[in-house]
Structures are given as structure tokens and as C-alpha cells.
Amino acid sequence: MADRCNHNHDHDHEHDHEHGPCCAAQPASLDRLAAQEKVAEGIRTAIRIMQMDCPIEETLIRSKLNRMSSVKSMEFNLLQRALTVVHDPDALDAILGAVRSLGFKPELASAGRSLSAAATKKPWWPLALAGVAAIASEAVGWLGMAEWLSAVLAILAVAVCGLGTYKKGFLAIANGNLNINALMSIAVTGALFLGVWPEAAMVMVLFTIAELIEVKSLDRTRNAIESLMKLAPEKATVQQPDGSWQEIEASEVTVGSMVRVKPGERIGLDGTIVTGSSTVNQAPITGESLPVDKAEGDAVFAGTINQASSFEYRVTAAANNTTLARIIHAVEEAQGAKAPTQRFVDRFARVYTPCVFAMALVIAILPPLLMGGSWHDWIYKALVLLVIACPCALVISTPVTIVSGLAAAARHGILIKGGVYLEEGRKLTWLALDKTGTLTQGKPVQTDFEVRAEMSADQCRHLAASLAARSDHPVSQAVASAAELDGVSRANVEAFEALAGRGVRGVIDGKTYYLGNHRLVHEQGVCSADLEAQLDVLERQGKSVVLLNDGQQVLALFAVADTLKDSSRHAIEDLHRLGVKTVMLSGDNLHTAQSIA
């Protein structure tokens, strides 16, 4: 949304000033439009335009509304197919009328129709049929068959895939805008009148394919953002005034409300724990490789996953202002931030396109009038100029390339804040890399095992695996997975109990065993000086340690860590050879970060 909060009537400059009230985070949903609201310069209204799916339509609308003094600023979001206008209080009807005059069907937020409900998937067969007809028209010409057959096939191809282009071209010409659709419509129509049937059909089919590629590129980016939105659940269990609990829409939960989260549920809103404790997987937000123990007074974030036990927390941010919502909002804004190349191409096309059209007119008219040339030949040459000189390659390919680059990066877990930063990548000297899931596997595995008592290694692993298999903590799961891979058997565990923030306990063959962390053995008084020293060494290596004990002594220790990807070292070396220095970012503790670095 590159034009957010442009407070003069030049809608092309960059958005680089302080964020004011109109820049508050919008609801984190592609389906929802912001409600109409008052701002300093008038009324801010969000309008859904389902037919607006490429920069050509955006330019046409911008050109039309720029002429209206009642329009103070505009921002476009092609992902949402939304236009947000700041306007005078009584100007909304005129704005909607102006948009309708361009052949679009504007809808207000109050219409209640979501993007997913309004979007209709276009069938693929018309373009396929047009392509076959265009190729057949070419083949008829090559084979020297009847010209009328080539004409019929060409007209069929243009009619099947080109009516939309003709409609857009007519509206553009009617509004004094010689855009790509207008030039294509003129060129194809002229070719048909001259009887150049195959060329007319093929130009229209190729242009339609180019438009389709652009729409698909935006769809890929839209899907990447929707995957972020799915991190947060749509509903939350909220305490009512009478003390009961009711599941309601997360967007309706107010700040200060009490929310209950069950084990395995995603947390719907940011907040602070009031009652209970648990472990929370915060990797989607903070990138921490292992779940974090949470107790009363600790902060939790929307989109993270509660793992161990139920707790209640007080909401500290509304659904449209959570940490996750702000991340999504930043990504949505990024898609509209035009890169320097895009801004140049937009300015260039505004001058270049009319010049091309004027040159084509000169070529078509002057030689036959002044030099006695053939009208057919010179009009044909003018049409060739229109097709060849048409700025499709610039105006379409530039935003498509940038959007495709952003989408490709998003599919690989890299969120680039717009084409501005994508282009600036060539100047990169330092690169900050997230640790979890980028440099590391993102999943803990057992790295160390040591027997600490008079017991066989197989017996220790047998007992530990039996307890770990009953736990849902990732550290325990890593111990259980390693034992399973090595074919270690498991015993039946009775009286199993999870010890919050410490580990687990269970009875095996009539004897109680514990599998827990450093804190547990310390509280049990079975942690010796040499064990403390060994634990310190392992923890400095960024490893999480669990210990098996029988209440009297520590029997064995197991170390678990998020290991480095095989490809990470080579990738870092390649970056260094390119002259790019690297720094690692992590939400983990200092020892863990240093062990990976």
C-alpha cells in the first residue's frame, strides 16, 4: 500500500512520513475491509473492486479519481482488490459513480461480501480454445487453404479471449487513457480490417496469456499472506460476565477479556497469563527452536501453540493489533510499495504510450497522402509499430517480475517488504538470518546420551523412552524418537504424571522414575557438583538436557538440540564469497545462539 496517508493530491510519492492515526493496523484478513471512519482530512472509505487485478486497472482508476478535488488521497491493494479513499464527507457517491463509469463494480465494506465469496475462478477452456483457434488460423495460412477459414478461426480466437480486452480498451479511450488495452484493441482491430487474420488472433491470445500470468503472480502472493493468517484461530474461549465460558469470534474479543486455552490449541490473541502454566511453541512468532515454559505473568502471542496444559490469560491487544496481525499488515503494505524501477516505468509509460500512438497515426496517414504510398501497406506498418512498441514488456513484466520475486521468497520462508527492498538487494553488504528453521532444522533431535549410574545403557534408554513416549514435550519426543529409531523397547507406565515446568513421573515395574530438567533434579537434591559442571557445558553448547532419575540418584542424561542444516554452512560460505557479511538473529538464549554461530 505504497500510497497510504498521502496527504496531498500527488499520489505517486513514497510513503515515508510518520504513521498517523490513519496508518493503524487493519484487521488481519484478506476477506475483511476496514469500516468507514473519520480522519483528519475527511472520511476514509474502503472499496472492494473485484475486477481490479493488475496495475493497468489501478492506473486507470487513479487517473480518473486524481481529477476529483474531493479525493484527498488513495491507496491500492491488489491482493485484496481494494481501494481505500480519503474524501470529503459528501463525495462518496460521486467516487463510486466515477469507478462505475470505468466498467468496474465497486462494493463497500457494509455489503458484507468477503473476497473469497466474491472471487470467481475463471474457466480455463476459453483461453485454450482461443489458442487452438489462433494456431489453426496460422496453419491454414501456411498450408495455403481457403482464406475464409483462416478468418473464421481468427475471429473465433479474438471473440473468445479478447472481449474483455476490447471492453477495457474502449473504456480507457473514452476516458482519455491510451493504455495497453487501448493499443492492443486498436492493433488487433486494424489487423482484422486489413485481413491479417493469423497475426490478429495470435497477438490477442499472447496478450491474454500475459495478463493471466500477472494475475497468477498476485494469487501466489495472496496465498502466502493467507498462510500467515491461518496461524491465528478465528475463535477464542472467553469468560462471560456471569463467569461462564463461551467460544466467540477472536475479532470480537476486547482488551482485558479473560481467555482460556486448552493443550494443543493455537493462542488466538496476545495476552498475559493469569492462571495456570504450560509450555508454548513460539517458533511461528519468535523463531525459538524449543517450546518456552510459561507461568503466571508471562506474555503469550497470537499464532503460537499451547502444548502442555490449560491456562487462562488476559488479552492485551485486539485481534487487529496483535504481534501476528502487525506482521501480516506489514506484508500486505509491502506488496503496494513500488520499487524505483516500477515508478520510473509508470512515469515513462504515461509519456511513451501517447507518443507511440501519435507516431503510428503519422506513419499510417502521411506517406499515403504526401508520397502516394499504399494505404494498406502503411496502415499495416503502423499497426506493426503499435504491437512492437507497445510497452507491455515494461508495464506488465516489471510488476509481475517483482511480485513473482516476492512470492518466490515467501514460499521459501523469506518475507521481503516490497519491491523497493528487493531491488536494493544488489547493494547488500550485511544479511541477518533467522536461526530456527533457516539455519537449523527447526526440530530438536537427541545429540548426547550418558549413563550416570550402575545400570546398562539399554536399560536407561528403555526407561527413558517409556516415560518420554507419554509426554508431548518436544524434548521428550526427541528422546523417544531416537530410542524408536534404535529399536529400543518400551515398558508399560503406570501412574503417569506431568510435572509442570519440570518433567514427568511414572511407575515402571513397581518403581517410580522421573524424567525431567535441571530444575527437577536440583529440587530433588540429587544434583552433584560434577553433574552441575557437565550440565553447564552442555547448556553452553545450546543443548537442552533431561535427566532420568529414581528419586535417589541420576541414572542417565540426554541432551537435545536443534541441529544445523547441512546446506547452511555452504550457503553462508557462498554469501561470504559474494562479499556479503552475515549475522544471526535468534530468540534463544545466548549459549544456544553462540553454539550455532
Q: What residues act catalytically?
A: 434
| Torsion sign, CA atoms 42, 44, 50, 51 | positive
Q: Calculate the alpha carbon distances from 209 to 65, 229, 323, 471, 502 in Å.
A: 29, 30, 39, 54, 60
Q: How far apart are alpha carbons 321 and 232 in whole angstroms?
A: 12
Residues contacting residue 134 through CB under 8 Å, at least 6 positions apart = 153, 154, 157, 198, 201, 202, 204, 205
Q: Report the alpha-carbon distance of residue 348 to residue 354 in Å, rounded.
A: 11
- Cα–Cα distance measured from residue 503 to residue 468, given in angstroms and rounded to the nearest whole number: 9
Which grid cell is 228?
A: 500467515
Cβ contact 70:210 at 8 Å: no
Residue 269 CA to residue 233 CA, distance in Å, equals 9
Classify 177 as helix, strand or coil.
coil
Residues 548, 514: contact at Cβ < 8 Å? yes
> In whole angstroms, what is the distance from residue 544 CA to residue 154 CA?
70
Query: Grid coordinates representing 393?
Result: 514488456
Closest alpha carbon to 3 in 14, 181, 417, 89: 14
Cell numbers placing 36: 468507514
- Residue 146's alpha-carbon distances to 138, 149, 152, 251, in angstroms, are 12, 6, 10, 65
C-alpha–C-alpha distance, residues 339 and 344, integer Å: 9
Distance in angstroms (rounded) separating the CA atoms of residues 308 and 289? 16
Contact 476, 465 (CB under 8 A): no
Helix/strand/coil for 487:
coil
> Under a CB-based contact definition with an 8 Å cutoff, are residues 313 and 236 in contact?
no
CA distance 215 to 50: 12
The residue length of the chain stands at 597
CA 170 distance to own-chain centroid: 35
How far is residue 506's CA from residue 196's CA, in Å, rounded to a whole number? 85
Which residues, in sequence order, are CB contacts of 141 under 8 Å at separation 6+? 150, 197, 198
Question: Taking Cα atoms as reference points, which of 11, 10, 9 lies closest to residue 75?
Answer: 11
What is the DSSP track for 67-115?
A: T-TTEEEEEEETTTTEEEEEE-TT-HHHHHHHHHTTT--EEEGGG---H
